[in-house]
């Protein structure tokens, strides 16, 4: 569609009306399986909003998280809430969203990370994101815990020109309420 517009904005620049649109899109795109804690995880960072004819048809956000790897705390751009309206899928809109988010990650973070659904995994792999081969964990209030159920679905992306010392071992993500990843 020729009237497709992509907009990049921080959460603080989005009014309640736009956030309401985003929340409605996510609820619909995830068939009602996108709760308030999931939405909270998507806030506080940069959002890519794609509109066609003024209607919000795709969204994604990237928020800062700290990830420990081999004793080093990495400033990580964590991708959240990537969704395309059901009637607009398979037209490249998810790629547009990811291109915008990857631009933010490239300029502001050491690496990108995300937890992929089965439906989203193909999009991310096709864009150069790779499944983390090591263990996944979190720094819980009770101390480090392994999140074996996240292994195989946690993807990482190293920005072009980035230097990665050791792409193995365990990644421990900062703790948050709800789903940690």
Question: Could you tell me the CATH superfamily of domain 4-174?
Answer: Gcn5-related N-acetyltransferase (GNAT) (3.40.630.30)
Q: How far apart are CA 110 and CA 75, in angstroms?
A: 6
Listed in sequence order, the DSSP H helices in 14-63 are: 16-29, 36-41
Instruction: Give the tens place of pLDDT for each residue, 49-87.
Output: 999 999 999 999 999 999 999 999 999 999 999 999 999
Domain boundaries, the chain: 4-174
**pTM for this prediction:** 0.94
pLDDT of residue 86: 93
């Amino acid at each position: 569609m020729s009237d497709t517009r992509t907009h990049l904005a921080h959460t603080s620049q989005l009014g309640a009306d736009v956030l309401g649109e985003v929340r409605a899109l996510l609820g619909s795109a995830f068939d009602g399986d996108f709760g308030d804690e999931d939405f909270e995880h998507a806030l506080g960072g940069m959002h890519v909003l794609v509109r066609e004819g003024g209607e919000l048809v795709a969204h994604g956000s990237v928020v800062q998280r700290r990830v420990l790897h081999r004793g080093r705390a990495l400033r990580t751009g964590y991708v959240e809430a990537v969704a395309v309206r059901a009637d607009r899928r398979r037209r490249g809109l998810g790629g547009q969203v990811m291109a915008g988010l990857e631009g933010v990650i490239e300029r502001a973070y050491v690496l990108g990370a995300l937890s992929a659904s089965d439906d989203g995994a193909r999009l991310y792999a096709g864009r150069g994101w790779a499944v983390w081969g090591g263990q996944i964990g979190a720094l819980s209030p009770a101390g480090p815990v392994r999140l074996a159920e996240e292994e195989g679905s946690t993807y990482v992306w190293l920005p072009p020109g980035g230097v990665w010392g050791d792409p193995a071992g365990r990644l421990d993500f900062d703790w948050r309420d709800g789903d940690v990843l």
